[in-house]
A and B are shown apart, each in its own frame.
Chain A
Amino acid sequence: MVSAQKGQVRVITGNAVGAYGALLCRPEVVAAYPITPQSEIAEQIAQFVNNGELDAEYVEVEGENSAMNVVLGASVAGARVFTATSSYGLVFMYDALQETSGYRAPVVMVNANRETPGIHAVSSGQQDMVSTRDTGWVQIIVENDQEILDQIIMSYRLAEDNNILLPVMVNYDGFYLSYLAEAVEIPLIEDVDAFLAPLKKQTPRQKLVPGVNIGCGTHGIEMGYVEARYKHCQAMERVKPKVDEIDKAFGDYFGRYYGGQIEEYRTDDADIIILASGSATGTVRTVVDSKREKGIKVGLVKLRLFRPFPAERLIEALQGKKAIGVIDRSVGFGWKYGPICTELRALSREIGTAPILSYIDGLANLDITIPHIERVVDELDTAAKGKPYQEVTWIPMEE
């Protein structure tokens, strides 16, 4: 494949990028319901449709649960679909999220991460994503505006691949990226068409066609149900190498690589590693560089794929390291560690004896700052030397 032409560079917000990402992939049915900090996506796509720039059915639903159900119905009928949400909107879809993945419907959704507690918090945090992690969706976390755009395009290649057929949720930090204007290269739509063209060469997936006796969503019990679940889990396993493969194809064509399931930054010779995700990884990279100048061998692993959890790639990246710090932007109930840290600890045996330190930071729009990360590096450095350390630290509570 030759490479894509240079796209137009524009300075736009993460939400606008979300809408452009959708536009470029030509969804045929879009349904969305406004919620802070995502509303601009719903508005912008409506504008595209009303301007005739996007030839899609746009359904202004009466709630998020319906948004997910509308795109599910359309997807089952054969459409390419798109929706966007955040926070309570995402959890209001909870039953429909499970139906969508159960139907193996290749829905692509953008989720602007926001707190989702029992008490209101209109602020950033990954709690919404964490609360829906076992709904059978692929969940990907991105770092900046360009990555939002690129990941939406890659997500269609993933979701609609006949060997996958799963819904994909693209997560980005609400507020931080929603309203942050950055320079973004917007590819030409013909190039996006070309990148997505391999999907059209596949055998068409099964659709619900009027007049044809096909049933969808039967009351599976006993073996019918077990088989569907088994195949769903198998497909999830296939997602992992596929994400790497698509990332490579995307990079080869558009010139931007993201590392696939995880991105590794200065990890090769690192003794200590910070595992982080989302917009805060930029800050971590800065601190890695400055600490390296002081002689501390620190590296960053950016978690891009949250579901399925990239076990194999993480083991490879973390094996033999001397200390690992995990930064979580959400909380877990039942374990004292943050949710991503808890997941990582399931790999303790494979990773080795490195202490794993859990950090809770950046809840409710509190910034994950350079001093916060410097502190994490210093503590990891101490732990790596075999000295005592604190297992779990809520950074803002100790400031």
Chain B
Amino acid sequence: MVDATKKRNRVFDYFIEEEQFAGGVAWCAGCPLELTARFVPKVLGKKMIFVGTPGCAAPVLHGQNIGAWHHLAYMASVMTGVPSKATGLSRYYHKTGQEATVVCFTGDGCATDVGFQPLSGAAERNERIIYIAYDNEGYMNTGNQRSSATPLGAATTTTPVGKIKRGKPTPAKNMPMVMLMHKPRYMATATLSHLEDFAKKLTKAKEAAKEGFVYLHVFAPCPVGWRIDSNRVIEVCRTAVRTNYFPLWEAENGKPRFTLEVASPKPVGEFTKLMRKFSHLDENGMKDLQRTVDERFALIKGLCEVYKE
């Protein structure tokens, strides 16, 4: 068992389990979803159950007319039932004294849209489950359509750049903030460029899930849909953090704090220039996007101040 308070310097120090996935899985080259899925069980251990759903994660997590591509227990669900199935599993394991870490693993589309109601319900009931939303800012599995997590201005196949409308007209649902307002036992944002931070949060999540609900929002850019070179995905993650586009924070019992504060954040243009989904934005479009980034950062910063000891 990993001691959450022990000082660990390297990401490997957090691993309690070997690689659980087969090589050569059915994900696109350079996809951070793959890295996330491989990473999670190494830190959480073998007693975890993946509850997943249609989305890019599904073929690997649940198999496609074959077994899944990993060694763990898993339960597949339609998009509307993930946290509820996890609730049923977790309640029964708890009642019968079986050790288990029940992990919902879904995309942003499931979490923010069609699967939001049961997620909100499970969080409010404080179920002992971990919900990991990997955020690639759209419905990637069905061909890069917009989700509620798609950012302002971004081009997707259902918010295409046309002659009179160019990209998504509304900002992304601020999902980490929405979940914070549920006051979960533990929640955090994380991404692949900051692996120690991510591992530490998973370790905390595992402990916290013995008492209540945990939500992890993992930034996971999609090289195919966002049109990023597949060798630059981790750089995109790091730049998202350094521009405050995706700040790293956590909250225990609803009290947020930064796990990393960027000393002098770069403009969001440093982030958007690494991909082509924003390449149609003009100066005003970029200003609007910068404003949402600033507003969101100010909001979380303000809340951190409120709860500062």
A331 at the interface (CB under 8 A from B): no
Best-buried of B70, B73, B125 by chain A (most CB within 10 Å): B73
C-alpha gap A107/B84 in the complex (Å): 15
Q: How far is the CB of B86 from chain A (nearest CB, A)?
A: 6
Residues of chain B contacted by A71 (CB below 8 angstroms):
88
Given contacts A65-B80, A79-B92, A95-B81, contact A70 B87 (CB under 8 A): yes
Contact indicator B84/A61 (Cβ below 8 Å): yes
Specify the chain B residue showing the minimal Cβ separation from A223: B65
B55-76, CB < 8 A from A: 58-59, 62-68, 70-76
A12 contacts partner chain B, Cβ-Cβ < 8 Å: no
Minimum CB–CB distance for B203 against chain A, Å: 18
Q: Which residues of A50-106 have CB atoms within 8 Å of chain B's CB atoms?
A: 57, 59-63, 65-79, 81, 95-96, 99
* B84 close to A69 (CB less than 8 A): yes
Please state if B88 and A77 are interface contacts (CB–CB under 8 Å). Answer: yes
Chain A interface, >50% SS class: mixed
Stretch at the interface among A211-219, A287-295, A375-383: A211-219
> For B85, B93, B95, which residue has the most chain A Cβ atoms within 10 angstroms?
B85
A316 at the interface (CB under 8 A from B): no
CB distance from A14 to the nearest CB of B (A): 27
A209 at the interface (CB under 8 A from B): yes
**Do B73 and A213 touch across chains, with their CB atoms under 8 A apart?**
yes
Residues 84-109 (chain B) with a chain A CB within 8 angstroms: 84-96, 98-101
Within 8 A of B (CB), among A92-143: 95-96, 99
Measured CB to CB, the nearest residue on chain A to B81 is A69
Kindly state the separation between the CA atoms of A75 and B91 in the bound complex, as whole angstroms.
Answer: 11
Interface membership of A225, Cβ < 8 A:
yes
Q: Select one of B89, B118, B124 contacting A65, CB under 8 A.
A: B118
Fill in one digit per residue for A192-236: 1 if any B CB lies within 8 Å of its CB, else 0: 000000000000000011111111111111111100000000000
Select from chain A the residue with minimum beta-carbon distance to B82.
Answer: A69
CA distance A213 to B58 in the complex (A): 16
> CB < 8 Å: which of A62, A76, A210 contacts B118?
A62
Known: A59-B125, A73-B89. A209 touches B73 (CB 8 A): yes
Choose one: A75, A215, A222; the contact of B88 (CB below 8 Å): A75
Instruction: Report B18 CB to chain A, min CB distance, Å.
Output: 13
Q: List 27 A-B contacts (CB under 8 A).
A: A59-B91, A63-B118, A66-B117, A69-B84, A69-B85, A70-B84, A73-B51, A74-B89, A76-B89, A77-B88, A78-B92, A99-B77, A99-B81, A208-B49, A210-B47, A210-B48, A210-B49, A212-B73, A213-B71, A215-B62, A215-B73, A216-B75, A216-B76, A217-B75, A218-B62, A218-B65, A220-B65
